[in-house]
Chain A
Amino acid sequence: MMAYIVRRVLYVIPILVGVNLLTFLLFFVVNSPDDMARMHLGVKRVSDQAIAEWKAERGYDKPLVWNAGAEGLDKLTDTIFFDKSVRLFAFDFGQSDSGRNIGHDIAQRMWPSLAIAIPIMLVGLAVNISFSLLLAFFRGTYLDFWGVVLCVAMMSVSGLFYIIGGQVLLGKLLNLFPISGYAPGPDAWRFLVLPVIIGVISGIGSGTRWYRTLFLEEVGKDFVRTARAKGLSERAVLFGHVLRNALIPILTGVVVVIPTLFMGSLLLESFFGIPGLGSYTIDAISRQDFAIVRAMVFLGAVLYVLGLLLTDISYTLVDPRVRLQ
């Protein structure tokens, strides 16, 4: 088991190196730092000196990968590649283009993101499993048929509609919750209820349909037939055999997304003005702050790979039949 985990962790390293090289290519080779400076300072009427100053302030004035003018090891380390890309491996995100410390911002903004992402995941899981169990219980009836149609219809609605519709209906017309905003500390719950409700509702369609497929898969298996043959009630079969076995794919599906919860939800956070990592990313994109986008790309990749790793490990824990090869 330990050897397996170690091998999986070692496999993560080349992937992160690949992501790192990819972002470096995208940000520094496709367009030179000069282009970026010109974009920030305005395209027309910008002097070479202003560009040079902008680059020097942000450390973009060094050579890309090889500093011929430096001594010894500095030939490699006194470069943009080392400063901006290699340092990411130590989670040293450096300064944003507007001069703030990115690592500090991320550590602060992580909590509001988690405060809405975790309730959405837990409540969503409970709601989706209950609905899909209901559909699986009534499989083959009109309730099941129209339930699936409703799921497909809900999946076809744009996520933006849920958010805007929820804000207008629950926030503006019924006046139940504040439309947007955030307060630190225990007061935050008033601002979190509406985004959580909307987040759960927008996930019902695909979640319920997916879990229903998993349940129906189990319903057709031999051990379920045996359980019925023993004379168990339909309810006991559904909860004791179907649900328990279907939990394996459900749980591993959940484990994948746990690390990415840190990244927050781009849309929900920016619509509701919640100062999490999702709105941080969106703000950076619209302000064209490349340093932050670069940091978030790397962070997102790390969390995603971590999710895959946890999935593989949890598979071997919950289902011993999975061989460790």
Chain B
Amino acid sequence: MGFQPVVLATDALIYLLLALAVGFALYARRHEHLRAPWRQVAASRTAMGALVVLVVYVFIGLLDTVHFRPLQGQDAQGRPRYATEVLSLLDLITTPLREHREKTYSAPFATHLYMRETIELPDGRKVRDYPRLKWGGAHLADPADRAADIARRVAAGLVLGLAIWGGALLLAARGRPARFRCLLRAPELAALRSAAWTGLVVALLLGLVLTLAGVWHLLGTDKVGEDVFYQSLKSVRTGLVIGTLTTLVMLPAAVLLGIMAGYFRGWVDDVIQYLYTTLSSVPGVLLIAAAVLMMQIYMNNHQAEFNSLAERADLRLLFLCLILGVTSWTSLCRLLRGETLKLRQLEYVQAAQAFGVRHFTILARHVLPNVMHIVLIVVVLDFSGLVLAEAVLSYINIGVDPNTNSWGNMINSARLELAREPVVWWSLVAAFVFIFMLVLAANLFADVVRDAFDPRLRERT
């Protein structure tokens, strides 16, 4: 199958972020003072368990980042013609989920629609009843077999999950039983054991999804009949993008201004302090609201400049990251200024000054490497707050584009349905569970990273 690769603006930044992360990992490997705290993180049971969950989320997000347009036949001149719709690898993998659309709401594991309709019976009579779903449980001739079918599939899924887990462990131990025994008993491998147990939970869930998701709507369907489980998976990328790119885009300005204020002091310090005090005194939500309103006006008036809906939604997401970055760089800048003020008193900086090394060389060679741990800690700590903020902003309608899959949009559209009888709860619960797992893992991981790199920072963040 032919395809045309598409790189959206946020995709490019994600690739950049990946490259930076790999570069940092290679750099950290060669420097003992960076390797030691990471070893401490790797020895923590909480951190390794949380890391497994984070890796799963990141993997889903990355699958959803590789975008392309599938081939759709050829035009008159024999040139290939590509679909206008932009798909991702995740869409490709979850094709059945994406295409199994019902008419409207249906509960998780339902065989019938949520609402009554007029159905024509084979003998011509008409009755008002709940119609069967087009896809959910359609493989069953008799809906009464539902419980038995689900039980069978759950059992198969659990076995499959165990098999995946066992296979992964075998691969990790490279078939040597001694390593297994070591993993089970050695007290210094407690962190690895906790990662393995978390991995078991993940593998079991994966097994269940593989056997169940194809024929049932695991988490029901929403108002237009879209599978809620699919929406939740698609929202992972939005959450991760907001959590990571926001800090990435504000990082250069925050780092540069922060260390410059602390190093040069005097009027440079005054100007930079004035700048961030002013920005941080505007209430964050209102600044975001004002900026997003202005962007909406701009986009409405310049609609011709966007090639596709996907591109437009993507730019809006990027803009949201930018504006969230503007509101959140001030705390990092303040921390960096304080740390630089301390560093510039140290002997090696004064020695460099005495030797006549140029200021910017001192900043790059002596100051920057010694404040990088603060940058790392703040990036990790900010992540969970930003993921939570996305949900709230989308609720006030100043978040991501309404067409973008995001947990905030899921909550926003499902909120009004709570008044229905029976309650339509599945969209809300799905979004909340997905957010909760990600944020909890990120919080636990961030705490360990902070304590490993700079325990003193606990008082200030």
Tell whether, in the assembled complex, residue A300 and residue B282 are in contact, meaning their CB atoms are under 8 Å apart. Answer: yes
Tell whether, in the assembled complex, residue B301 and residue A158 are in contact, meaning their CB atoms are under 8 Å apart. Answer: no
The segment from A31-39, A69-77, A224-232 that touches chain B is A31-39
| Across-interface contacts of B296 in A (CB, < 8 A) | 39
Cα of A66 to Cα of B60 in the assembled complex, Å: 54
Q: Which of A30, A159, A290, A300 contacts B283 (CB 8 A)?
A: A300
Tell whether, in the assembled complex, residue A27 and residue B436 are in contact, meaning their CB atoms are under 8 Å apart. Answer: no
Tell whether, in the assembled complex, residue B297 and residue A31 are in contact, meaning their CB atoms are under 8 Å apart. Answer: yes
| Across-interface contacts of B289 in A (CB, < 8 A) | 281, 285, 293
Tell whether, in the assembled complex, residue A213 and residue B458 are in contact, meaning their CB atoms are under 8 Å apart. Answer: yes
Q: Give the contacts of B266-292 with A (CB-CB under 8 A).
A: 274, 277-283, 285-287, 289-291
Q: Which of A14, A19, A286 contacts B282 (CB 8 A)?
A: A19
The segment from A47-55, A130-138, A160-168 that touches chain B is A160-168
Q: Which of A39, A159, A161, A301 contacts B281 (CB 8 A)?
A: A301
| Across-interface contacts of B436 in A (CB, < 8 A) | 156-158, 161
| Across-interface contacts of A19 in B (CB, < 8 A) | 278, 281-282
Interface string of A201-231 (1 = CB under 8 A from B): 0000000000001000100000000000000
Q: How far is the CB of B282 from chain A (nearest CB, A)?
A: 5
Interface bracket on A: 35 or more
| Across-interface contacts of B194 in A (CB, < 8 A) | none
B423, CB-defined interface residue at 8 Å: yes
Tell whether, in the assembled complex, residue B281 and residue A297 are in contact, meaning their CB atoms are under 8 Å apart. Answer: no
| Across-interface contacts of B294 in A (CB, < 8 A) | 26-27, 30-31
B51, CB-defined interface residue at 8 Å: no
Cα of A270 to Cα of B428 in the assembled complex, Å: 18
Q: A164-B418, A305-B281 are in contact. Are A152 and B290 (CB under 8 A)?
A: no
Q: A153-B440, A297-B290, A304-B281 are in contact. Are A160 and B411 (CB under 8 A)?
A: yes
Tell whether, in the assembled complex, residue A152 and residue B283 are in contact, meaning their CB atoms are under 8 Å apart. Answer: no
Chain B residue with the shortest CB-CB distance to A21: B278
Chain A residue with the shortest CB-CB distance to B291: A26
Which residues of A pack against B, CB within 8 Å? 14-15, 18-19, 22-23, 26-27, 30-31, 35-36, 38-39, 43, 152-153, 155-161, 164, 167-168, 172, 213, 217, 260, 263, 266-267, 270, 281-282, 285-286, 288, 290, 293-294, 296-297, 300-301, 304-305, 308
Known: A158-B436, A304-B280. 5 other contacts (CB 8 A): A14-B274, A39-B296, A152-B443, A157-B436, A304-B283
Which residues of B pack against A, CB within 8 Å? 274, 277-283, 285-287, 289-291, 293-294, 296-298, 300-301, 384, 388, 391-392, 395-398, 411, 415, 418, 423, 428, 432, 435-436, 439-440, 443-444, 447, 458-459
What are 18 inter-chain pairs, A to B, with CB distance below 8 A?
A22-B278, A27-B294, A38-B301, A43-B301, A152-B440, A152-B444, A155-B384, A156-B436, A164-B411, A164-B415, A164-B428, A267-B395, A281-B286, A285-B293, A294-B290, A301-B282, A304-B280, A304-B282
